[in-house]
Homo-oligomer: A and B are copies of this chain.
Amino acid sequence: MKSFGQRLDAVFDSVGQLCVGIDPHSYLLSEWGLPDSAAGVRQFGLAVIEAVAGRAGIVKPQVAFFERHGSAGYRALEEVLAAARQAGIMVIADVKRGDLGTSVEAYGQAWLTPGSPLEADAMTMVAYQGTGSIEAPLALAEVNGKGVFVLAATSNPEGVELQQAVRADGRTVAASIVDDVVGWNATHAGESTGSIGVVLGATVDFGDYGIDLASIARTPVLAPGFGHQGAGYSQLSEIYGASAPYAIVSASRSILTAGPSGIANAVAVQAREVLECRG
């Protein structure tokens, strides 16, 4: 069985680093002429999968927009996940789950177990209760060839004070999470691309967090903050330095606002743009 890191390498080499968000906001559903319902988010999600197939390699559904419609929304998401698997598209479930013990393990089982109704290739997690609290899903990811992306330095201004807070050991909250993940990968993946990644926003000055990008290479980086949120694809190397080849370049609004008739072209154009920046 290939690890998530190895599968990520293969996707990057074949179709590149673009990751297309599946964010069925109510206003986007309306722009797309779809109802604000479970049926609407299902159609939206399936249309994005169809547009991405053969043009890019990774999607990132924002699960909040499915959860908003309760069990019917989750049923819709299950169909979208199945369609992605069918099309050979890698899925990062953007769920930002976090908890302790058997609870956080249950979240891992929900998203990272082969054959689970909500099976994805990777999920996002938050470690407010410490990275030690999420070790069960990290271990589960390794066993199942799946991945986890832990929030470290996000791209929103409200998060700066917490994420730059200094721990007793002198490291910032964000840097210690990055260290923990890099350490995990060193143990589990050795010299290969790791299966556990970090979320590092593209509009963040990493020096302010004491994060040294030169030391985290081979740890995948989920990189929101492109397109609508500010950063341009051409800045990929400038922003992520040594981590640029391991960055999953995530774009949502700049692609989704192309609408049902324009999205396939928007994906193709932006995937090529990102591929060209790979150098």
Flag if A67 contacts B110 (CB, 8 Å): yes
With A98-B126, A129-B154 known as contacts, the answer to whether A118 contacts B168 (CB < 8 A) is no
- A121 → B minimal CB distance (Å): 16
Whole-angstrom CA separation of A162 from B130 in the bound complex:
6
Which residue in chain B gives the minimum CB-CB distance to A25?
Answer: B102
- A149 → B minimal CB distance (Å): 13
- A205 → B minimal CB distance (Å): 15
Flag if A128 contacts B126 (CB, 8 Å): yes
With A68-B109, A96-B97, A103-B65 known as contacts, the answer to whether A159 contacts B128 (CB < 8 A) is yes
Number of chain A residues close to chain B: CB under 8 A:
58
Flag if B62 contacts A117 (CB, 8 Å): no
Q: In the complex, which residues of chain B have a beta carbon less than 8 angstroms from the beta carbon of A17? A: none
Q: CB of A78 within 8 A of chain B?
A: yes
Flag if B156 contacts A100 (CB, 8 Å): yes
Which residues of chain A in 125-184 are interfacial with respect to chain B, using CB atoms and an 8 Å cutoff? 126-133, 151, 154, 156-169, 172-173, 176
Whole-angstrom CA separation of A62 from B159 in the bound complex:
26
Render A21-32 as a binary contact track against B, CB cut-off 8 A, 1 for contact: 001010000000
Which residue of B94, B103, B164, B168 is within 8 Å of A168 (Cβ)?
B164
Flag if B67 contacts A78 (CB, 8 Å): no
Stretch at the interface among A8-16, A69-77, A234-242, A265-273: A69-77
Flag if A159 contacts B130 (CB, 8 Å): yes
- A19 → B minimal CB distance (Å): 16
5 closest pairs, A vs B, by CB? A70-B117, A132-B158, A130-B158, A71-B74, A165-B165
